[in-house]
Amino acid sequence: MNDISSIDREIKWNESDSEQFLQFGKALVPYREKMEKILIDLLFTYSQNEFTVVDICVGGGWLAESILKRYPKSKVIALDGCEKMLNYAKDRLTSCADRVTFKKFDIHKQSWEENLGKVDCFTSILAIHHLNDSEKEMLFKRLYSGLKRKGRFIIADIIKPVTEESRLIAAREWDEIVEEQSMSFYGDLRAYKFFEREQWNIFYYPDPVDKPSILASQLKWLKNAGFRNIEVLFYHAGHALFTGSK
């Protein structure tokens, strides 16, 4: 893949990959259902009152749907840079339309969060690895400011391996999990073949658009931004879920 502008990326994504990713996404993300359960459980503390979650890069809307169904008092602000994804998520979430707001945004632009007001939680699933280290560090500071007291930031994303050995381990494990999940979900290797054909495994096929950061660095940036109770709750195949609260 070539390094292209955000507009060109969106056009390229819309024309070539969206339908297949929306179809196969649950098989391409390592143990997505486990990741989802952890994230949903983290929100339980807010469930007795109305609360608002900002879903950064909502994608197909699977996470927003889970939040809205599990927590009747929840509201979601769904952000994405791809019009096709937003439209797909809108269709998926029609039954909860009164509790979800959709906004198109550019994650690379600073201060996109300023017009959202104070919220209870920001979630970022496979989104911030498109930002470089300094952009992530600044984003963590801005999101801390955008949270209410006792608010939470939950990140699930691709992590940069520290060593060559860990890169190869992550690459192999990701391949194995996608193959396993393809068989489990579809009864064949269709998702795995897509994963291989599109060279989705960035630990084998680096792409300039993807800029994962070392996990230890991101935990440090959370701490420096002011977050506390920082924890890593999931790690498989170079993918981690970690969180901090205000």
pLDDT digit string, tens, across residues 6-30: 444 443 444 455 667 788 999 999 9
Q: Give the HSE-up count for residue 183: Cα atoms under 13 Å, Cβ half-sphere.
A: 5
Beta carbons of 64 and 76 less than 8 angstroms apart: yes
d(CA 71, CA 238): 30
Q: For 76, list phi and psi in degrees, rounded to 5.
A: -125, 135
pLDDT attached to residue 14: 45
DSSP 3-state of 120: strand
Per-residue pLDDT tens digits for 108-140 = 998 899 889 999 999 999 999 999 999 999 999
Q: Which domains does the chain have, with CATH numbers?
A: 6-159+206-245 (3.40.50.150)
pLDDT attached to residue 16: 53
Enumerate residues 6+ apart whose C-beta is below 8 A from 81.
6, 10, 57, 104, 105, 106, 107
User: Which residue positions in the chain have pLDDT lower than 50?
Assistant: 1-15
Beta carbons of 131 and 211 less than 8 angstroms apart: yes
Q: What is the pTM assigned to this prediction?
A: 0.91
